[in-house]
Structure 1
Amino acid sequence: MRIFLSTNDNVGEVTRDNHPPNEVRLQIEGWHVTRLDSIGSTNDELVRRLETSDLPDRTVLVADVQTAGRGRLDRRWEAPVGENLLCSMLFRPPIAHPQHLQHAVALAIIAATRHFDVGNVWLKWPNDVIVVEPDTSQRAEYAKLAGMLSTMTADGSVIIGTGVNINWSPVGATSLATIAGHPLSVIDVLRALLSSLHDLLVCSEDELTDRYRTHLSTIGRHVRVELPSKEVVTGRAVGVSPDGSLEVVDECAITHRFHAGDVVHLR
């Protein structure tokens, strides 16, 4: 998984080794966490392990470095070794609405940032975690802090990979260390994230949806939506449908609903 601005790859210096990853089990209540020193992609590795093993619900892989990580729309995501949180979480079926899991993970990232005195953290549709300066909250200026990529497996499981900029970020993005003013432990952030997510997963779907909408900075803004088809739509984001799609009213007062695409906050 990568962290990046909406339109760019997130790429740092990576050592590309092909050796099998060393594995260490981490004790985090409510989760089955394995730390790897190096892997191609934590999402891909969870898919591979699920095909050959009966992995338990809430299995987590976290890597010091990914050599073939990717973000949404197949963008590259790479970061220097040990600097950022790169992990994937497995949720086993039955799963009625996968988007609620994505919302819960995004909200858990925001909750985790509060443990490290980082504020003004919001969401940009669908699940980018951004930081907005207090004096620019009415404008479009923001920096990306975290992002995620979800995979649905053949058996109905959902894998959510996330990358959080802890101690490094590419140009134009930001990191927790930059905001806090000092380096942070990647594993401490992981523990805070999983603890927050454990609490959020007991919420009802309606409560998760309400919290997601409350933290969604996109609503009410003038936005540009860049679709996978290369079509571009501009207008005002007015809401999110129950299925998670973004509702945008264009200059002709036509309402559009988007299930995928890049959103740029214009103002």
Structure 2
Amino acid sequence: MTPRDAADENNNRWSDLDRPPLGAAGLRRSLVRDGGLYRDIEVVERTGSTNSDLVARAEAEGAVEGTVLVAEEQTSGRGRLDRRWTAPPRSGLFFSVLLRPAGVPVARWGWLPLLTGVAVATGLARVAGVDTALKWPNDLLVTVGGEERKAGGILAERAGEDAVVVGVGINVSLGAAELPVPQAGSLALAGAVSTDRDPLLRAVLRSLEDWYGRWRAADGDPAASGLQETYAAGCATLGRTVRAELPGDRALVGEAVAIDGDGRLVIATKDGVQEPVGAGDIVHLRPA
């Protein structure tokens, strides 16, 4: 037994029978294989941020592509704009994957968070039976009581010159009283047929391996790999009136009409101008 598997055998392992722990050894048996993306999968009881930990490993230790770090609890999880992401232990999926997309032009690496969103939505639909929509650029939305709510998010960070760490946080079994804000959601509240995190994580990681393989085989071309079309089909932002809060305290209001070849959101303003937005906070506005 390795030290990291010892935690699977401690006396606290089944302290919450409604939220059993993930099985690291089983995940490795099912996902780590010759010729596959994943080289190592580690599950830790608690950490500040799986993304921060994996970025540090990539930069200091040269961790290999396909290293996956999963935490049962994150105490300093981060989303875009350094927003905090917290949840009770074992109530969600909190993990990061190290990717080294050699051969893909760096200009196309911006598609990685969108690719991850497609992969997560696909995996969750297969196992949880929940329709997960994508809010550009990195939010995962579910429907709870007829309302659109955020149940997860994605954060991509560069790790040195040749690597990217993509982190995913998904609220799985949280009840209404456990939500960090009333506007949040979870798979359970969205009527998931299963909240068993082991098969959910397997499905998401297999979907990520599949989409990442397609994208790399197409040299990162989002059209040739089918990524651009698939993302647009699942993007809840398109066709909506939105407000983009941009760097420099600038705001742009208009209809989100497309995702361009660089992964940017194209907004058509009332003046008839179409402006691509590559970074910013997007607010879905209700119809007047």
Same fold (TM over 0.5): yes
Partner of 1:131: 142
Partner of 2:183: 172
Q: Which residue of 249, 253, 258 maps to 1:230?
A: 249
How many residues align? The count is 240
Partner of 2:205: 194
- Offset at residue 33 of structure 1 (A): 0.9
2-side partners of 1:119 and 1:259: how far apart? 29
- Offset at residue 162 of structure 1 (A): 0.9
2-side partners of 1:84 and 1:58: how far apart? 21
Matched, 1:147 2:153: yes
Secondary structure, aligned partner of 2:55 = helix
2-side partners of 1:87 and 1:114: how far apart? 19
Identical pairs, percent: 35
Partner of 1:55: 63
* Residue correspondence of structure 1 range 62-211 to structure 2 within 5 A: 62-94=70-102, 95-96=104-105, 97-132=108-143, 141-168=147-174, 169-170=179-180, 171-180=182-191, 184-203=195-214, 204=218, 205-206=222-223, 207-211=226-230
TM-score w.r.t. structure 2 length? 0.77
Give structure 2 stretches of 5+ with no counterpart: 1-22
Instruction: Determine which structure has greater relative contact order: mean sequence separation of CA pairs < 8 Å that are 6+ residues apart, divided by chain length.
Output: 1
From the superposition, tell whether residues 187 and 228 of structure 1 become closer, same or farther in structure 2 (CA, over 3 Å).
Answer: farther
Q: Give 1 or 2 for the bigger CA radius of gyration.
A: 2
- Offset at residue 221 of structure 1 (A): 1.0
Contact 2:121–2:131, Cα closer than 8 Å, also in 1: no
Out of 89-98 and 178-187, give the one that drifted further.
178-187
Matched, 1:34 2:34: no
- Offset at residue 118 of structure 1 (A): 2.8
- Offset at residue 193 of structure 1 (A): 0.2
2-side partners of 1:131 and 1:259: how far apart? 24
Name the structure where helix makes up a greater proportion of residues: 2
Alpha-carbon deviations, 1:213-265, whole Å to 9, x = none?
11112111111112243322111111112111111111222222211111111
Give structure 1 stretches of 5+ with no counterpart: 1-22
Partner of 1:241: 260
Alpha-carbon deviations, 1:57-96, whole Å to 9, x = none?
1111010111111100111111111111111110014142
Query: Runs (4+) of structure 1 moved beyond 4 Å?
Result: none
Amino acid in the other structure paired with 1:247: V
